[in-house]
Amino acid sequence: MTKYVYSFGGGSADGNADQKNLLGGKGANLAEMASLGIPVPAGFTLTTEVCTWYYDHERSYPEELQREVQTALAAVEQTMGARFGDAVDPLLVSVRSGARSSMPGMMETVLNVGLCSTTIPGLVQKTGNERFVYDAYRRLIMMYSDVVMEKAAGVEPAEGQGIRQQLDRMLDEVKKAKGYQSDAELTAPELKDLAARFRTRVREVLGQEFPDDPLEQLWGGIGAVFASWNGKRAISYRRIEGIPDDWGTAVNVQAMVFGNMGDTSATGVAFTRNPATGDSQFYGEWLVNAQGEDVVAGIRTPNPLNDATSNDQNRHLPSLEKAMPDTYRTLHDIRDKLEAHFHDMQDIEFTIQEGRLWMLQTRTGKRTGTAALNMAMDMLAEKLIDERTTVLRVKPEQLDELLHPIVSPAAEQTAKPIAKGLPAGPGGASGQIVFSASDAVAWTKQGKRVLLVREETNPEDVEGMRAAVGILTGRGGMTSHAALVARGWGKCCIVGAGMLEIDAHKKTVSVSGQTYREGDALTLNGTRGLVYAGALAMVDSTENPRFQDFMRLADALRRLKVRTNADTPEDAAKARAFGAEGIGLFRTEHMFYGKGSEEPLFLLRKMIMSGTVEERRHALTELFPFVKKDMKATMAAMEGLPVTIRLLDPPLHEFVPNRPDEREKLAKALGITAEQLNRRAEELHENNPMMGHRGVRLGITFPEISEMQFRAILEAAGELSREGQKTFPEIMVPVVDLKSELDDQLVIAKRVHHEVCEKLGVAEIPHLYGTMIEIPRASLTAAEIAKTAEFFSFGTNDLTQMTFGFSRDDIGGFMPDYLDKGILKVDPFQVIDRDSVGELVRIGIERGRSTRAGLKVGICGEHGGEPSSVEFCHQVGMDYVSCSPFRVPIARLAAAHAAIQHG
Ligand code: PEP
Ligand code: MG
């Protein structure tokens, strides 16, 4: 028979901490604490299965439930030595929700259940505190009428006319009439009178009596909590957090204890270690003569728990350690016991009722990235946890925080974002806004810190992007040009903030009726995609000395290799410092962006705009030394580690200059008129460049372009080895659909290899010849393609674009709505969509390895640095992932997590 109700208290419990699915997080941990002999007010938990039953059976309960609740209630009465509904010694209970994972504030709670005309006199007698009793009673009426009689009953009051608001106003009127500042000044007779008037108002507004029967109150509370699982707030929270609707919530009914019974009573919240720094110090806040919600509500400044917790705001207030030393000592012992038992930092709630300590909750505490790292390493040293657990304790995303300056969390808490975009580049930045790349460069030269604000960015903006401390665009997606470039540099960047009206001519950006002009300060949180007005404080990324030790532990546990996407020797060196084990993607076209790129960019443009093979060959010959030099320097920086060099995949239109002076210069160099050049530029225009003349298609129509690159790669590698340096290039062909495309290019590669070997007088230049898989057709025909390709690298940016039919560069227009409305849970350009793109990856690997056993497989799309996608790459048996330098540590840790969790 199914057991629906689990009891706890008095040193024992039916359930335990492993039963979170059944008892919810709160119920499971209350049971565990009770079994450990920690003082928790006795109570019982109605399981999540009751919730499921309730919704499966038109909001009714299983038959046995009533009897089980009665039995459990009797046990509580026994343990607490008081009786529910008793006229002499009444027991009061709380009714609270508790889902598997915490949904803070999203569901309902009713406190003080059991107060009624029969029990009130008894409680007054027992406590000798009439004021306290009527205060508890008026709180019960407020909570119950709101939660049970209004919300759970589906009553939808007009704006501002909710019963809770009406009763609050009555309370305020009394305070105003008496000239009171706080609720605490209300006297017993005033509260008694107020409670009576509350009941009348409830009857008038809701057409029903406030129930005077304790059992009716109890079942009303239970029903309201179950009903709140499907309240608006809870549903939208579940959407955001990805919590399934069918989990259901448990309901915890627990004996009330009161922290507001006078000066020997108190309530508080604490963390067993400091959640901000990770320091192993008991950390918390408390209030004398108060209820739990008073601490969290922030109306009164809470006292520090101890010296370690005191700060400028609370230093003048007595600590619990000083005010109630014995109780503090007991609490401290419980802290030690909980940590020794749960092997993790706990977030606890406690109440002291007339000198007696009660624990109301314990759960694993949330923490910052820095704290997570410090705590994990401390607990390892304390032998509280093993190495695998240590590695699992830090979430890969949390490393972000350790590697970049971030917006001060305290400053962010009080600021309201003015706009939201996609979180394209990590960390935080604040600075003066400018609207052109050239201004960004000029202002930076004057020593200013600037944010570059653009509708969208293109290669001409790169200098300015480099100079700016942060980048903000109105359009574009996570794999748009600005995002790729910014992430590569580890630069703070927000793209696709569509609500911004950016006017580059007037040099203004407007949002919600506010206009910000050139030179005004804004702040970006690139990790969350939030834009703030003004300059918020920043916190510096202090390279934690323990970071390296921690990463060594992680590395020892992972199977996936981690490479980087880098296109310059500087980025390559940075990535190696972050632990990269090779380059997984050298995008040749990126050498035409940024510092020192003027001349090669001009030559590239000349090549693109050439009208004949001769012209093109001429431009390519001029370009060759630049390309070779760049490749050589990057290969040298990697000192023998594999370097995957991708043939040019330029979006041609992006490289056609727009500025008239540049067009003129180009026309002159080509010996043609401006009109002729304009015509050629028009011919290059494509309606759908993402599916146009790009990648290998360029090499098929203009073999000389591929030839130049093969030569540059092989000569660079050959020369390096002649100079005594190890190198290992992997030549990668992009945007491949067909094996025949690869074969076509391979003929050229082989010929060039032969020629370069002859020139350098060597028998062979070791290298691999492989392909990107970024088109669904290539995945599906991977068995064929692998007959030629010696390695695959999944280009999941394009693969996602082609699979969803979402343009990488245009998703800013609709992705925010898709996410807001829950049409998509996550942006598929950030997190690999396992059902579609993931399936194509799996098929590609399987079929590729069916014709070439041991085919080397990696990923170089942006997903290669995203933790859940890295997990997926591990699961499908890739050899490596590749990501931008700043994400290398994140990928290393994610790979370790995947290996620990999936073997
Ligand atoms: C990809 O498509 O995933 C990829 C890495 O190539 P790019 O982003 O340069 O198109
Ligand atoms: Mg691509």
pLDDT digits (tens, 9 = 90+) for 361-372: 999 988 878 789
Query: Residue 484: nearest ligand to its CA?
Result: 1
Work out the pLDDT band at 13, boundaries 50, 70, 90: very high
Average pLDDT estimate for 491-517: 93
Among 108-122, 229-243, 474-488, the least confident range: 474-488
Res. 223: pLDDT tops 80: yes
Percent of the chain with pLDDT over 90: 75
Work out the pLDDT band at 685, boundaries 50, 70, 90: confident
Res. 527: pLDDT tops 90: no
Average pLDDT estimate for 776-801: 98
pLDDT at 845 (0 to 100): 98
Residue 860 falls in the annotated catalytic set: yes
CA 176 to centroid of ligand 1, rounded, Å: 66
Q: Which parts of 393-518 fold into alpha helices (H)?
A: 396-403, 409-414, 437-445, 462-467, 481-489
What is the H or E stretch that residue 870 is in? helix 867-875
Angle, helices 130-144/119-127, rounded to nearest 10 degrees? 140
Q: Is 867 in the pocket of ligand 1 (CB under 6 A)?
A: no
Average pLDDT estimate for 789-813: 95
For residue 45, the one-letter residue type is: T
Q: Is 882 in the pocket of ligand 1 (CB under 6 A)?
A: no
pLDDT at 740 (0 to 100): 98
Mean pLDDT of the residues in the chain: 92
Q: Which atom of ligand 1 is nearest to the CA of 801?
A: 2
Res. 292: pLDDT tops 80: no
Res. 903: pLDDT tops 80: yes
pLDDT at 466 (0 to 100): 85
Q: 366, 275 in Cβ contact below 8 A?
A: yes
pLDDT at 498 (0 to 100): 86
CA angle in degrees (0–180, nearest 5) for 207-213-216: 75
Res. 533: pLDDT tops 80: yes
CA angle in degrees (0–180, nearest 5) for 691-697-698: 110
Q: Which residues pair with 646 in a beta bridge?
A: 587, 732
Res. 400: pLDDT tops 80: no
CA 452 to centroid of ligand 1, rounded, Å: 24
Q: Is 491 in the pocket of ligand 1 (CB under 6 A)?
A: no
Average pLDDT estimate for 427-445: 94
Best probe residue, ligand 1, of 772, 773, 830, 832 (max atoms within 8 Å of C-beta): 772
Among 750, 781, 794, 747, residue whose Cα is nearest residue 646? 794
Q: Can you say whether the dihedral through the CA atoms of 259, 264, 266, 272 is positive or negative?
A: negative
Q: Is 798 in the pocket of ligand 1 (CB under 6 A)?
A: yes
Active-site residue identified among 51, 116, 492, 860: 860
Relative to beta strand 642-646, strand 728-733 is: parallel
pLDDT at 538 (0 to 100): 87
Q: Is 796 in the pocket of ligand 1 (CB under 6 A)?
A: yes
Question: How far apart, in whole angstroms, are the C-alpha atoms of residue 718 and residue 721?
Answer: 5
CA 900 to centroid of ligand 1, rounded, Å: 29
Percent of the chain with pLDDT over 70: 97
Res. 755: pLDDT tops 60: yes
pLDDT at 299 (0 to 100): 57
CA 96 to centroid of ligand 1, rounded, Å: 50
Relative to beta strand 492-495, strand 501-503 is: unpaired
SS3 858: strand
Best probe residue, ligand 1, of 590, 592, 798, 802 (max atoms within 8 Å of C-beta): 798
Q: Is 567 in the pocket of ligand 1 (CB under 6 A)?
A: no
Q: 103, 243 in Cβ contact below 8 A?
A: yes
Res. 543: pLDDT tops 60: no
- Tell me the HSE value of 279 on the side-chain side, using a 13 A CA sphere: 9
Q: Is 841 in the pocket of ligand 1 (CB under 6 A)?
A: no
For residue 448, the one-letter residue type is: K
Res. 489: pLDDT tops 80: no
Res. 240: pLDDT tops 90: no
pLDDT at 178 (0 to 100): 95
Question: How far apart, in whole angstroms, are the C-alpha atoms of residue 249 and residue 243?
Answer: 11
Percent composition of the chain: helix, strand, coil (DSSP 3-state, to 5) = 50, 15, 35
Res. 423: pLDDT tops 90: no
Q: Is 478 in the pocket of ligand 1 (CB under 6 A)?
A: no
Best probe residue, ligand 1, of 774, 873, 883 (max atoms within 8 Å of C-beta): 774
CA 562 to centroid of ligand 1, rounded, Å: 17
Work out the pLDDT band at 540, boundaries 50, 70, 90: low
CA 631 to centroid of ligand 2, rounded, Å: 19
pLDDT at 206 (0 to 100): 96
Question: How far apart, in whole angstroms, are the C-alpha atoms of residue 17 and residue 103?
Answer: 18
Q: Is 657 in the pocket of ligand 1 (CB under 6 A)?
A: no
Q: Is 775 in the pocket of ligand 1 (CB under 6 A)?
A: no
Best probe residue, ligand 1, of 808, 860, 882, 887 (max atoms within 8 Å of C-beta): 860
pLDDT at 702 (0 to 100): 93
Work out the pLDDT band at 298, boundaries 50, 70, 90: low
Q: Which atom of ligand 1 is nearest to the CA of 797?
A: 3
pLDDT at 312 (0 to 100): 64
Query: Under 8 Å CB-to-CB from 32, ≥6 apart: which residues?
Result: 13, 16, 17, 341, 362
CA 297 to centroid of ligand 1, rounded, Å: 48
Q: Which atom of ligand 1 is nearest to the CA of 861?
A: 3
Average pLDDT estimate for 581-594: 90
CA 629 to centroid of ligand 1, rounded, Å: 23
Question: How far apart, in whole angstroms, are the C-alpha atoms of residue 315 and residue 252?
Answer: 36
Res. 564: pLDDT tops 60: yes
Res. 379: pLDDT tops 60: yes
Token pair, residue 306, equals 């101890």
Res. 481: pLDDT tops 90: no
pTM for the structure as a whole: 0.81
Average pLDDT estimate for 540-545: 56
Res. 167: pLDDT tops 90: yes
CA 882 to centroid of ligand 2, rounded, Å: 14
Work out the pLDDT band at 300, boundaries 50, 70, 90: low
CA 899 to centroid of ligand 1, rounded, Å: 26
Q: Is 649 in the pocket of ligand 1 (CB under 6 A)?
A: yes
Q: What is the DSSP string of 100-131?
A: SS--TTSS-EEEEET-STTHHHHHHHHHS-HH
Q: Is 650 in the pocket of ligand 1 (CB under 6 A)?
A: no
pLDDT at 770 (0 to 100): 98
What is the H or E stretch that residue 154 is in? none
pLDDT at 297 (0 to 100): 57
pLDDT at 781 (0 to 100): 98
Work out the pLDDT band at 356, boundaries 50, 70, 90: very high
What is the H or E stretch that residue 530 is in? strand 530-533
Res. 801: pLDDT tops 60: yes
Res. 542: pLDDT tops 70: no
CA 718 to centroid of ligand 1, rounded, Å: 28
SS3 516: strand
Average pLDDT estimate for 122-128: 93
Nearest CA to ligand 1 atom 10: 798
CA 770 to centroid of ligand 2, rounded, Å: 14
Work out the pLDDT band at 812, boundaries 50, 70, 90: confident
Q: Which atom of ligand 1 is nearest to the CA of 860?
A: 5
Q: What is the pLDDT of residues 54-78, one digit of tens each?
A: 999 999 999 999 999 999 999 999 9
Work out the pLDDT band at 276, boundaries 50, 70, 90: confident
pLDDT at 479 (0 to 100): 66
Residue 883 falls in the annotated catalytic set: no
> What's the Cα-to-Cα distance from 427 to each of 158, 470, 567, 686, rounded to whole Å?
43, 9, 22, 36
pLDDT at 296 (0 to 100): 59
Average pLDDT estimate for 782-806: 98
Q: Is 797 in the pocket of ligand 1 (CB under 6 A)?
A: yes
Question: How far apart, in whole angstroms, are the C-alpha atoms of residue 269 and residue 606?
Answer: 68
Work out the pLDDT band at 816, boundaries 50, 70, 90: confident
Work out the pLDDT band at 459, boundaries 50, 70, 90: low
CA angle in degrees (0–180, nearest 5) for 569-573-576: 140
Nearest CA to ligand 1 atom 4: 795
Compute the radius of gyration of the chain from its Cα atoms.
33
Res. 477: pLDDT tops 90: no
Q: 304, 290 in Cβ contact below 8 A?
A: no
Q: Which atom of ligand 1 is nearest to the CA of 793?
A: 5
Q: Is 647 in the pocket of ligand 1 (CB under 6 A)?
A: no
Question: How far apart, in whole angstroms, are the C-alpha atoms of residue 425 and residue 20?
Answer: 37
pLDDT at 657 (0 to 100): 85
Best probe residue, ligand 1, of 487, 649, 830, 833 (max atoms within 8 Å of C-beta): 649
Average pLDDT estimate for 685-706: 92
Q: Is 589 in the pocket of ligand 1 (CB under 6 A)?
A: no
Nearest CA to ligand 1 atom 1: 795
Active-site residue identified among 481, 590, 874, 897: 481
Q: Is 861 in the pocket of ligand 1 (CB under 6 A)?
A: yes
Q: Is 112 in the pocket of ligand 1 (CB under 6 A)?
A: no
Q: What is the pLDDT of residues 302-325, one digit of tens each?
A: 899 998 887 766 788 999 999 999
pLDDT at 279 (0 to 100): 87
Nearest CA to ligand 1 atom 6: 795
